[in-house]
Structure 1
């Protein structure tokens, strides 16, 4: 990569570690840096958004805020995935998205402090339209540059949860868990992420020069992936699991506050800390039990997680902290392994869009259903019973995800088939 070091815009093809010799650590360092700062941006505000809104008199829009974030994830990833596959260098798409996002994040505190629910929701929606696609895009960029050595992807992805740890601890230490000031913190790191993206090797769009069609722009051609039965089953299970994730993301932070936890952001940081611990075990586990059982284990642990949240209403903080600490197993052995699985079966020209489907299910459809459903439960059951039942009023919020996780596990075991060749 001499051209990159010298500042030239050399176009690189994906290469293996053996071909890159001593330059491998330099590539891994750059991929890790971009992953780290991107997730600092996300972790700085998303985990405690509900608490910020509740603390500023906007608790009525907690559910809608996470819902529109999910809708943004539905509308935007395949669109920007198509751009990354066909029209723009993927790193440029990543940088532009974060630069735009930094401006939007800086505008959010004013809207919230004005108690302007409409403006707040509008800014969150537009911001998430720019941010959500980058979650799949950074996976695609990393896996492409790693080439035949994609087994090292978990070590790059490890810096994602590490970014959440840094963000959570920093926000907690600064006393910003319930403050709009956390959006300024996130905006600063969004600028850093945009700048860091340009340190990555410039790879051309995989489908550069192909004929334009509206279907390409919205990612229709990626639907061919659903011909692979296991891919289709994985997407269904991802959807079901992500509904539970939507519930957790929307109301975990206010629930922890009800349990009497003061430093909510700091406690939530235990989740990504556990990701850092467990993510490094993925290659070892995959070599011994394979993707089928690793994914099954990740799905199953979601039921345990919500059971602990249910017990926390009676047993107190230790159960809640245990539920947060399971974040690593739940995410590492599901989302990260799923990204690796998709990289194995998706053709190069659909790489970004294929990862976009994963994000679409996780942060899009699943999160939308989870946020909307949990918002209804919160208004219909939790709020009316809070005065008389305290933390126990939250029990209806956690029962559904337990059953859904069990159903997901059964579907995966019944319908999974060994990996099939990449579709033509």
Structure 2
């Protein structure tokens, strides 16, 4: 399919774009696909731990989130390589969600049969189909927007918006602890697949290109680690993402132990705050710079886990406050980190540099956090379950200390001239 030549760059979007239709209709379609994509994810991922615990599979909560993180590491190796070269991006997105819907409807039966191995295998297989779509929807949006990329933040806001819709809907339907969340997610996976076909068709972005394993795993971007501040950021991202792995794995069952019935609805406060705080980033950066904005984001993780620890005394309001800090913790760390990387990485390494951020957050950090928290839960929380919420204290103490170490490391290693 022919492209449009803009300056010296060929835009991978249908010929005639901007002549036949204005950007508003395209933005509306991209926003819709982004919304339903994240409804799929938010419907089940946030309360997976609670669903497993409610069905006698609490022993595999940490492992379930661990295999999800492993899928985030390896998934681009099989889906990204094929999709970039042989299929139109919108078709890859649609096929991934159709395959995911099939896997999702199989999960309730595996959980009902208390088959831990099959449950973990299905979660791993599903995340292998889903994880690449998180980056794919961004690349599709940016490609189709072309010279209108300034509208991308408005499209991206529908991501956390999807989590909000999913959380409120699941909570209202009473599915927070039910395997019914997988049927709900599967239905929206099919809707996402159908919505994908409403987008303009673009050719495979790397059609005819020579396959390079190094490009897929970001080997060329390793040169950026010579930049001390970039290396420090990746180290701090890893430590913070370990804490995020702990939170993702056990926040939902902890809220249930605290006596909160609408767990999904409470967890929806997280993405709501993300939408609210993301708009404050430019104002804050203009006044305190990236160094202190990132420091603030790192510091707030210690506050978040301190609130979870205090909630063990029987006051669930502290835990609700911890959930509401999601926007500050994510926006002032992950979003600002992505902006920092865009500033220091040369154009030819920009995509791979951002890939390292995702690899640390959704891959290595999440994997370590899930595995460690699962081990702590089994060794210290389960034996003391009779003590109620206070038995969960060992899960929250470690991340508080880790956040403090992260803050110290960032201040020690950051170089002012790179701000």
TM-score (norm 2): 0.88
Q: Which moved more, 1:359-368 or 1:128-137?
A: 128-137
Q: Which runs of 5+ in 1 are unaligned?
A: 1-8
Give the Å deviation of 1:196. 2.5
Give the Å deviation of 1:269. 0.9
Q: Counterpart of 1:409?
A: 407
Structure 1 Cα separation of the partners of residues 360 and 297 of structure 2? 16
Asked if structure 2 preserves the Cα contact closer than 8 Å seen for 1:69 and 1:124, the reply is: yes
Q: Which moved more, 1:321-330 or 1:345-354?
A: 345-354
Q: Counterpart of 1:293?
A: 292
Give the Å deviation of 1:177. 0.7
Give the Å deviation of 1:157. 2.2
Paired residues in the alignment total 409
**Structure 1 residues 206, 291: CA separation in 2 closer, same or farther (over 3 Å shift)?**
farther
Give the Å deviation of 1:29. 2.2
- Within 5 A, what are the aligned runs for 1:34-49? 34-49=33-48
Q: Counterpart of 1:133?
A: 132
**Structure 1 residues 30, 291: CA separation in 2 closer, same or farther (over 3 Å shift)?**
farther
Q: Counterpart of 1:241?
A: 240
CA deviation map 1:240-283 (0-9, x unaligned): 11100000011111111111111111111111111121122233
Structure 1 Cα separation of the partners of residues 157 and 232 of structure 2? 26
**Structure 1 residues 49, 90: CA separation in 2 closer, same or farther (over 3 Å shift)?**
same
Give the Å deviation of 1:178. 0.8
**Structure 1 residues 104, 221: CA separation in 2 closer, same or farther (over 3 Å shift)?**
farther
Q: Counterpart of 2:29?
A: 30
Structure 1 Cα separation of the partners of residues 130 and 273 of structure 2? 24
Structure 1 Cα separation of the partners of residues 317 and 92 of structure 2? 43
Asked if structure 2 preserves the Cα contact closer than 8 Å seen for 1:74 and 1:365, the reply is: yes
Q: Counterpart of 1:118?
A: 117
Matched position secondary structure for 2:66:
helix
Give the Å deviation of 1:319. 0.3
Structure 2 Cα separation of the partners of residues 26 and 292 of structure 1? 38
Give the Å deviation of 1:207. 4.5
Q: Counterpart of 2:89?
A: 90
- Within 5 A, what are the aligned runs for 1:265-276? 265-276=264-275
CA deviation map 1:316-362 (0-9, x unaligned): 11101000000111112222233344445556666554443222211
Matched position secondary structure for 1:76:
helix
The RMSD of aligned alpha carbons is 2.8
**Structure 1 residues 318, 78: CA separation in 2 closer, same or farther (over 3 Å shift)?**
same
Q: Counterpart of 2:7?
A: none
Q: Which runs of 5+ in 2 are unaligned?
A: 5-10
**Structure 1 residues 414, 155: CA separation in 2 closer, same or farther (over 3 Å shift)?**
farther
**Structure 1 residues 225, 107: CA separation in 2 closer, same or farther (over 3 Å shift)?**
farther
**Structure 1 residues 370, 164: CA separation in 2 closer, same or farther (over 3 Å shift)?**
same
Q: Counterpart of 1:70?
A: 69
Asked if structure 2 preserves the Cα contact closer than 8 Å seen for 1:77 and 1:136, the reply is: no
**Structure 1 residues 38, 249: CA separation in 2 closer, same or farther (over 3 Å shift)?**
same
Structure 1 Cα separation of the partners of residues 352 and 82 of structure 2? 9
Structure 1 Cα separation of the partners of residues 12 and 289 of structure 2? 25
Q: Counterpart of 1:381?
A: 380
Structure 2 Cα separation of the partners of residues 382 and 23 of structure 1? 56
Asked if structure 2 preserves the Cα contact closer than 8 Å seen for 1:165 and 1:272, the reply is: yes
Asked if structure 1 preserves the Cα contact closer than 8 Å seen for 2:170 and 2:265, the reply is: yes
**Structure 1 residues 94, 417: CA separation in 2 closer, same or farther (over 3 Å shift)?**
farther
CA deviation map 1:141-165 (0-9, x unaligned): 4445555765654332221111111
Give the Å deviation of 1:237. 1.7
Structure 1 Cα separation of the partners of residues 147 and 295 of structure 2? 26
Asked if structure 2 preserves the Cα contact closer than 8 Å seen for 1:51 and 1:253, the reply is: yes
Structure 1 Cα separation of the partners of residues 227 and 196 of structure 2? 33
Matched position secondary structure for 1:199:
coil
Structure 1 Cα separation of the partners of residues 330 and 37 of structure 2? 17
